[in-house]
Chains A and B, each alone.
Chain A
Amino acid sequence: MAKHKTPLLDQLESGPWPSFVSDIKQEAESRAKNEKGLDYQIPADCPEDLLGVLELSFSDGETHWKHGGIVGVFGYGGGVIGRYCDQPEQFPGVAHFHTIRVAQPAGKFYTTKFLRDICDLWELRGSGLTNMHGATGDIVLLGTQTPQLEEIFFELTHNLNNDLGGSGSNLRTPAACMGKSRCEYACYDSQELCYNLTQEYQDELHRPAFPYKFKFKFDACPNGCVAAIARSDLSFLGTWRDNIRVDQEAVAAYVGGEIAPNAGAHAGRDWGKFDIVKEVVDLCPSKAISYEDGKLAINDKECVRCMHCINTMPRALRIGEDTGCSILCGAKAPILDGPQMGSLLVPFIEVNKDDDYQAIKDVVEGVWDWWMEEGKNRERIGETMKRLGFAALAKAAGVPIDARQVQEPRHNPYIFWKAEEVEGGWERSIDDFRKRHQR
């Protein structure tokens, strides 16, 4: 018998898509039965109370969670988000219901051993409810109480060899696409770079010292599966400088209809016979492709590496071999000053594991030093850039100015010239001036 009646939530149990309500109910049932005889460290009926408080929100149209308090583990300023219910008498099981962020492995590959260990830990010491995964990429454990925090952290680090993720004004848990693990488009090893920078900057991740949050995301190609360009303060997008590799026989196979275009992504509808001119040549954004006499030619100097031709004919075309990444800076959601996309800061940088990615770390640290010096409280780097100008950012990052950094040149002549840029400097005598011009 359910602890709370949930007539509104029950309506989310029908329909084909997996029902989170059904899932929470099965957890509630499992905890009530407790076949393993666990001594649950937080109230066993918390999933029932979560459904109860959610039903209340569904009927009164308002949330019943309060601001987080300051909770966490010793020595860290992030990784735990305090959460308290504003109807604790009605729902005592979720009166204190803190979130824990657990750092996910790059690319989110798992063994069942690791996931089962997380489940065992979280069944005993938490609600048994999770997000796989949070929006930034962490494994999110939803709901535990303050006395369990150090215990969970101890078990995570000692038994699972894993750390907490980031929260607050610090480096948030970096996230990478699956990269070279299983993708032929990967221009660099996004997982290794993500792992390396995550380890290098553990202090920045756990101990808030920044004006506001800071995110790294790693997309190994311009397709952008982890949305780095839209969502990360520094985004690392794979690219190349040489030529797209072309297999003319495979091109002919696409033209002849032997291979489905775009890896078969459009198979659900009859789009007619593949037309290489209409579907590839004409759609190239920089008009760098031609198809004549059964041969595909790419003018690589004019190519902007948008990936369309490669996505459309993945068996015929491959990314170049002189690969690395572009670094973009300043993406963020609209709060507060409107949305920002990452702006191209470094057109190309080598992703070199042999020197421990030093060139990339130099850029990262230059950007951080400047932002920590100049940024206002709760100002994302994207906003600092807008306030102080792109050139100031580039200088701080030690990045040379390059026409590739802009869409087009400025629309106004209000250039902030500096004295040292002007012949003779700015020191002038009014007396000299008056010798030439009467008052």
Chain B
Amino acid sequence: MAFISSGYNPEKPMENRITDIGPQHFTEFLQPVIKKNFGKWLYHEILEPGILKHVAESGDAVYTVRCGTARLMTVSHIREICDIADEWCDGYLRFTTRNNIEFMLEDEGKAKDLKKFLNSQKFPAGSLKFPVGGTGAGVTNIVHTQGWVHCHTPATDASGTVKATMDAVFDQFTDMKLPAPVRISMACCLNMCGAVHCSDIAILGIHRKPPIIDHKYLDNLCEIPLAVAACPTGAVRPSKVEVDGETYKTVAIKEERCMFCGNCYTMCPSLPLADKEGDGIALMVGGKVSNRMSKPAFSKVVVPFIPNNPPRWPEMTDVITRILNAYSEGANKYERLGDWATRIGWERFFEVCDLEFTEHLIDDFRDPAYYTWRQTTQFKW
């Protein structure tokens, strides 16, 4: 390998340096009909799963074909997406917030042909490259985090749990049979860089063993006051220990106070939490971000722990499927998962989803906990 210079001169880093330019202006990337009718859209309809029609005041229409992707994708795959956009859409495309791709066309027949074409494209081992769907009252693509692919704090994998889940609920992606949209999100640790806390169904990686303390190295790798301050429950305190006859400055942990958030590990690499048996998944349900009818809501923990069982996490997908089925049967049209559970009562939710209710599901973390307990004699048998 020979180093190829971009033109950057390490001797003079400021020479020709361009900084602080941000992204390009979005109008550089708008498909012509989109650009022409910017701000002048009248209405839209979903012609069939995965195909949207938007009509503008001018009478112009644009047809969008939406397909799912694994958000972890290679340049080979992106180039294939570009080939499709070049051939069908004059070189324009869009990604949605939920990792779907949208191809925009001006002809309805062509949009339907493109849907057929996209649904026929497969990887050699058999999975679809561009499944069309993700519209209307169904499950759309899962937003997720890095997991074991590229992160130091995960309690589970992200891409793997997402692939397993989307395979299990695939029919709900390609059809629109549910009472309302169901947004599934995945975050592989409590840090939630994926912010899954307001999802209809959240898959969340959790640790269950307190950090192991690497006493001999801790003081060299970490700022002890920062590690102490990082603990939300005050479980970490400065300490000294003797190992092999030598005294080390380190920390001590009150293990019964640990809530396994991993914040100390973020601040101090000498406090790892990861553990094959300790780590796994919690499932949360009933959150939403839309203001439609009911207020935005947080997801609630309904399964405190499911062991990691890669590559397909069957116990996890089984529970998700069960929740989706119960919701599909029980909810009214337009009713989001959380609104349905609230209407029938959470005690009933556990019954119809055949889920066990345990003490781990009763909140005991700070003041908001009280507001989740029941202060009425109204409940259901």
Contact = CB atoms under 8 A, between A and B. Distances in A.
Are A and B a genuine interacting pair, yes or no? yes
A12 B311 contact: yes
Interface stretch (A147-155, A293-301, A394-402): A147-155
Interface stretch (A98-106, A354-362, A364-372, A426-434): A98-106
A132 B69 contact: yes
Contact of A266 (B18, B136, B263): B136
Nearest to B10: A150
Interface string B25-53: 11011110010001101111111110000
A97 B150 contact: yes
A277 interface: no
Contacts of A47: 74
A195 interface: yes
Given A163-B20, A263-B45, A20 B72 contact: yes
Interface in A330-372: 332-339, 341
Given A97-B150, A308-B293, A8 B311 contact: yes
B124 A16 contact: no
A347 B298 CA distance: 22
Interface residues of A, number: 148
Nearest to A66: B152
A48 interface: no
A404 interface: no
A109 B6 CA distance: 27
Nearest to A153: B8
A23 B144 CA distance: 18
A175 B70 CA distance: 20
B22 A198 contact: yes
A276 interface: no
B196 to A, nearest CB: 8
A12 B160 contact: yes
Contacts of B154: 63
A41 B123 contact: no
A144 interface: no
A191 interface: yes
B137 A206 contact: no
Given A182-B62, A314-B44, A112 B193 contact: no
A183 B197 contact: no
B375 interface: no
A226 B97 contact: yes
A9 B136 contact: no
Contacts of B157: 54, 57-58
A15 B293 contact: no
Contacts of A230: 195, 197-198, 287, 289, 296
User: Which of A13, A17, A183, A306 is packed against the most chain B CB atoms within 10 Å?
Assistant: A17
A107 interface: yes
Contacts of A66: 152, 269
Interface stretch (B235-243, B272-280, B346-354): B272-280
Given A13-B125, A17-B170, A65 B296 contact: no
Nearest to A224: B289
Contact of A335 (B79, B82, B190): B190
Interface in B3-20: 3-8, 10, 13-14, 16-20
A122 interface: yes
B310 A8 contact: yes
A180 B39 contact: yes
Interface in A15-51: 15-24, 26-27, 30, 39-41, 47, 50
B95 A206 contact: no
A194 B41 CA distance: 20
Given A18-B131, A57-B148, A264-B46, A103 B95 contact: no
A336 B312 CA distance: 30
B76 to A, nearest CB: 5
Nearest to A124: B4
A154 B79 contact: no
B143 interface: yes
Contact of A206 (B19, B175, B261): B19
Given A8-B311, A17-B166, A268-B175, A58 B148 contact: yes
Question: Which of the four size classes fits the interface of chain B?
Answer: 35 or more
Contacts of A271: 333
A18 B69 contact: yes
Contact of B94 (A8, A108, A231, A263): A108
Contacts of A90: none
A60 interface: yes
Contacts of A259: 45
A61 interface: yes
Contacts of A104: 23
A377 to B, nearest CB: 7
B34 A181 contact: yes
Contacts of A133: 71, 95, 99
A223 interface: yes
A128 B46 contact: no
Interface in B308-347: 308, 310-312, 333-334
B116 interface: no
B229 A377 contact: yes
Interface in A242-289: 259-260, 262-269, 271, 279, 283, 285
B380 interface: no
Interface in A146-169: 147, 150-155, 157-158, 161-163
A307 interface: yes
Nearest to A189: B39
A195 B4 CA distance: 33
Contacts of A122: 75
B204 to A, nearest CB: 9
Contact of B78 (A14, A115, A150): A115
A224 B290 contact: yes
A27 B76 contact: yes
B250 interface: no
A17 B24 contact: no
A384 B163 CA distance: 38
A103 B26 CA distance: 11
B167 interface: yes
A115 B82 contact: yes
A11 B312 contact: yes
B59 interface: no
B46 A14 contact: no
Interface of B: 1-8, 10, 13-14, 16-26, 28-31, 34, 38-39, 41-49, 54, 62, 64, 68-79, 81-82, 85-86, 91-97, 99, 104, 123-131, 135-138, 143-154, 157, 159-160, 163-164, 166-167, 170, 173, 175-179, 181, 187, 190-198, 229-230, 232, 261, 263, 269, 274-277, 279, 287, 289-294, 296, 298, 308, 310-312, 333-334, 365-366, 368
5 contacts: A40-B1, A135-B193, A163-B21, A271-B333, A306-B292
Given A8-B311, A18-B131, A338-B366, 5 more contacts: A195-B26, A202-B22, A262-B334, A307-B292, A338-B365
Q: Which 4 A-B pairs have the closest CB atoms?
A: A265-B136, A61-B276, A15-B167, A13-B125
